[in-house]
Chains A and B, each alone.
Chain A
Amino acid sequence: MIFTIAGRELRSLFLSPLAWSMLAVTLFILAWLFLTQIEIFLSLQPRLAALEGAPGVADIVVAPLFADAAVVLLLITPLITMRVLSEERRNRTLSLLFSAPVSMTEIVIGKYLGVLSFFLILLGLLALMPLSLLVGTELDTGKLAAGILGLTLVVAAFSAIGLYMSSLTEQPTVAAVTTFGLLLFLWIVDLAGDSDIRGGSVLAQLSMQRHFEPLLKGLFNSADVAYYLLVIILFTGFTIRRMDAIRLQH
């Protein structure tokens, strides 16, 4: 039942030009960044060759590319998640799901997986760029895998937050703005953590970026993964509660 809902969500996304244009624009920008990084790598290569234990393609091309990709995803996630629940409420189609023999958890998880699979398609296409380097050079696949895992976790957390924001309002634009605000805040919250103010380290722990960077370097830290899983579970849980409250509200 979850997959039925997820399938329809994904299908509806691709029936609108939004998903296609989003894929096209995002991949164009990321491909541009990818080519720029390769350019840099090529210019550095003669010097790198002389060094012992020099940084490889994964460090010079993949890590910056994925770091940029996370920022781009931060920009586009609100646009994809904004309509997921708010539009159903607005068009009064929610009663179809409410009167069907489906639990609220199934509805929310179905919706979530639908959105997430869109981003996984995007990440799959993105991963093809560094993988294409395998044709001509050696690549630290461990670091690449850690990077992809990090990006997946980041986008999964983004989607969970976006889904929750979408359940709060009937206006997709409001959902988009609030999602964007919250995501950006969580991304930069560690800026305060660098200073000596009290609680700085707590803020640093909350930052999404802080937990993403180690994965880009190939460091798999279970605390980082747990952080993202917690965010995902927390916000999908909030969404389920919120949707239940729609039936109780007024």
Chain B
Amino acid sequence: MPKDTLVHAEHLTRYYSLTCAVNDVSFDLAKGEVLGFLGPNGAGKSSTMQMITGNLAPGAGQISIAGIDLLDQPKRAKLEIGYLPEQPPVYRELTVDEYLYYCAKLNRIPRSHISRAVTTAKERCGLGDVGKRLIGNLSKGYQQRAGIAQAIIHSPAVVVLDEPTVGLDPLQIREIRALICELGKEHGIILSTHILPEVQATCNRIQIINRGKLVFADTTTGLEQRMNTTALIAGFHTAPDITALQQLPGVDHAELLADQRVRIRYRGSNPAETLIEQSVTKRWRLHELTPECRSLEQIFIELTCSETHENGDTS
């Protein structure tokens, strides 16, 4: 295991009675990484996060946090974890200051450092003005911030955030994203979400989980390459024969769409230039040529839906 591996999860499996929530999930998180967990509802994101943070005992598998085994030495390992569950775990009857003070003590911050830790956490999460107010009277967004403040108060090595931007206004979402990016420099961060642009904006690694299984794991750059064009949409006034298009160099597959438009999938170099040349010489009267971009959403749907079909067929 490399020295800067903060989270090492191996073959995590968890059953809820007979339903398999998490099935053989393994991954690593290194320092300075922001790992995005994507998946449809009920895919096993939250269960995985609960296992990493010691809230749920895994059925099988191993977890180590900063090189410390979570199951063997839970106390030492948990010192290095900050966790924000789906619902912020705040006590409504306490003020923000009291709550954070309590969290600081729970996380064994030495007495002399507590007030500094509380101030820093409040500053980072934009809670400066509401310290004296009761958490129960704050809006959802501020409660969420208090939840995040609680997770980072002891500056743990790993911060696990389960849907951190739910219920926030767009401005707050931007602030929280900026905060996550900033935290990502010194800590390792795992965050789950089903807001896809959020992943692109904040994460440098992405994992898609579906039906308890990891179906995709790559860096954001790798994903972007996958998202890059691999197809062209061409519109003709006099559409040529499909076979003629398929014989163009580099073209993998061509299919006819409505309105005499054709989708041309290719491998390697872009055949646009040859296509235009051919169009002029053979009078196809090309009037439209657009590279087709696959969005993260499409990749997500492809991965999660195809899997669902496969499973549906086999079962």
A residues near B (Cβ < 8 Å) are 1, 4-5, 8, 11-12, 15-16, 91-103, 247-248, 250
Number of A-B contacts (CB under 8 A): 75
Point out the residues of chain B lying under 8 angstroms from A1, CB to CB. Answer: 105-106, 108
Once the chains are docked, how many angstroms separate the CA of A94 from the CA of B202? Answer: 29
Would you call B93 and A12 a contact (CB within 8 A)?
yes
Q: How far is the CA of A15 from the CA of B136 in the complex (A)?
A: 13
A250's partner among B16, B76, B93 (CB-CB below 8 A) is B16
* Distance A25 CA – B314 CA, assembled complex (angstroms): 65
| A100-B78, A100-B107, A101-B75 known; A92-B85 Cβ under 8 A | yes
Q: Across the interface, which residues of A come within 8 angstroms of B17, CB to CB?
A: 250
Within 8 A of A (CB), among B48-72: 50, 53-57
B85 in contact with A95 (CB, 8 Å): yes
A interface, by DSSP: helix, strand, loop or mixed?
Answer: helix
Contact residues in A for B83 (Cβ distance below 8 Å)? 95, 99
Please indicate the chain B residues that have their CB under 8 angstroms from the CB of A247 in the complex: 54-57
Quick check: is B40 within 8 A (CB to CB) of the other chain? no
The verdict on A96 contacting B89 (CB below 8 Å), with A101-B107, A248-B57 known, is: yes
Bound-complex Cα distance A210 to B255 (A): 89
Instruction: List, in ascending order, chain A residues with CB within 8 A of B102's CB.
Output: 4, 8
Name the distance in Å between B19's Cβ and chain A's nearest Cβ. Answer: 9
> Which of B55, B86, B103 contacts A98, CB < 8 Å?
B55
Closest B residue to A102 by beta carbon equals: B106
- A-B interface, 6 closest residue pairs, ranked by CB to CB distance from nearest: A96-B89, A250-B16, A99-B83, A101-B78, A93-B89, A100-B106
Contact A93 B53 (CB under 8 A): no
CA distance A91 to B89 in the complex (A): 7
Inter-subunit contact B94/A99 (CB<8 Å): no
Interface size class of B (residues with CB under 8 A): 20 to 34
Q: Which residue of B lies closest to A247 (CB)?
A: B57
Given A1-B108, A248-B57, A250-B17 in contact, is the A99-B91 Cβ separation under 8 Å? no
| Closest-CB distance, B220 to chain A (whole angstroms) | 27
Q: List residues of chain A with CB within 8 A of the CB of B55.
A: 95, 98-99, 247
Once the chains bind, are B75 and A99 in contact (CB under 8 Å)?
no
* Contact partner, B89, options A12, A92, A101, A250, Cβ 8 Å: A92
A–B complex contacts, Cβ < 8 Å, 23 sampled: A1-B105, A1-B106, A1-B108, A8-B102, A11-B94, A11-B98, A12-B93, A91-B87, A92-B86, A95-B50, A95-B53, A98-B55, A99-B53, A100-B78, A100-B107, A101-B74, A101-B76, A101-B107, A101-B108, A102-B75, A102-B78, A247-B57, A248-B57
* Bound Cα distance from A16 to B55, whole angstroms: 28
**CA A101 – CA B153 in complex, angstroms?**
13
Min CB–CB distance A67 → chain B (angstroms): 35
Does B209 have its Cβ within 8 Å of any Cβ on chain A? Answer: no
| A209→B163 CA distance, assembly (Å) | 52
